[in-house]
Homo-oligomer: A and B are copies of this chain.
């Protein structure tokens, strides 16, 4: 059957709403390209323009993240009259927090992505982590919040970028037997170092895939089992010497590895967490 027309109305950039809608649609194997997204809807007039568009459709579901009470009411009234399905993403949560704290919500749109100090820190963390990606400059190790080590194809770079987005300055360093890692990795607290590892089978298949993508023959030593075992053994030795946490990423998505790291940081109570809570 024809899928519903899906609208998303936000008074800010619509990221929260988008994530919720995607989570929901994934439970229905529905395509998500046809979401009609209206962002920065801040006045009744702007909202009316969206409502005109909605009223010309059939079978509509409207998701919204609006914090101004006036707009929320206007939309609710319209949905009742026109009889379309309306989903308030923030409403229940806003009401629950009000009840639990006896506070009144501010009703100010766009607070979450204010260009404040935190926002600039995040940008700096991203720039830092790009600058000190792939062992480019060992001085980064001493300045980083977190140092990530691992052999090729243990997802060091995407993990670093994900952590950078969470305001953590990461330096990542590749390990391979032909060259000693920079001495700086022994000069910082082991709690600031995370080793990544993967199973030989998985590395073998990821590296073969990688060679294919690069148009190279798949029997290059890079993807050979013996070579991989040698690299893993070498990496293991280095990580043991440091005494750092080692995470096997073979069954983890980036987000899961990152969550493990956050939990570890909380437990070890490193500078990182102090910084994030200050």
User: Is the CB–CB distance between A158 and B127 below 8 Å?
Assistant: yes
Any B CB within 8 A of the CB of A59: yes
Bound Cα distance from A115 to B249, whole angstroms:
12
Interface size on A, residues (CB 8 A): 75
CB atoms of A100 and B123 under 8 A apart: no
| Residue among A30, A65, A87 with the highest chain B CB neighbour number at 10 A | A87
Q: In chain B, what residue has the closest Cβ to A108?
A: B27
For residue A98, which residues in chain B have a CB less than 8 angstroms away from its CB? Answer: 28
Q: Using an 8 Å CB-CB cutoff, how does the interface string of A1-34 with B read, 1 for contact, 0 for none?
A: 1011000000001111001111111111110010
A264 proximal to B (CB < 8 A): no
Specify which chain B residues have a CB less than 8 angstroms from the CB of A247 in the assembled complex. none
The reply to whether B89 and A20 form a contact with Cβ atoms under 8 Å apart is yes
Contact A123 B24 (CB under 8 A): no
A77 on the B face (CB < 8 A): no
Shortest A278–chain B CB gap in Å is 10
CA A255 to CA B112, docked complex, whole Å: 12
A sample of 18 more A-B contacts (CB under 8 A), given A33-B277, A161-B165, is A1-B102, A4-B97, A4-B101, A13-B253, A13-B256, A15-B255, A16-B22, A24-B90, A27-B67, A27-B97, A27-B105, A27-B107, A61-B100, A85-B99, A123-B155, A123-B254, A126-B158, A127-B158
Q: List 19 A-B contacts (CB under 8 A).
A: A13-B253, A23-B112, A27-B67, A27-B90, A28-B98, A28-B103, A30-B103, A33-B276, A33-B277, A59-B100, A60-B100, A61-B100, A85-B100, A86-B96, A87-B93, A113-B253, A123-B254, A126-B158, A130-B161
Which residues of A are interface residues toward B (Cβ below 8 A)? 1, 3-4, 13-16, 19-30, 33, 39, 59-61, 63, 65, 67, 85-90, 92-94, 96-103, 105-108, 111-113, 115, 119, 122-124, 126-127, 130, 133-134, 155, 157-158, 161, 164-165, 213, 253-256, 259, 276-277
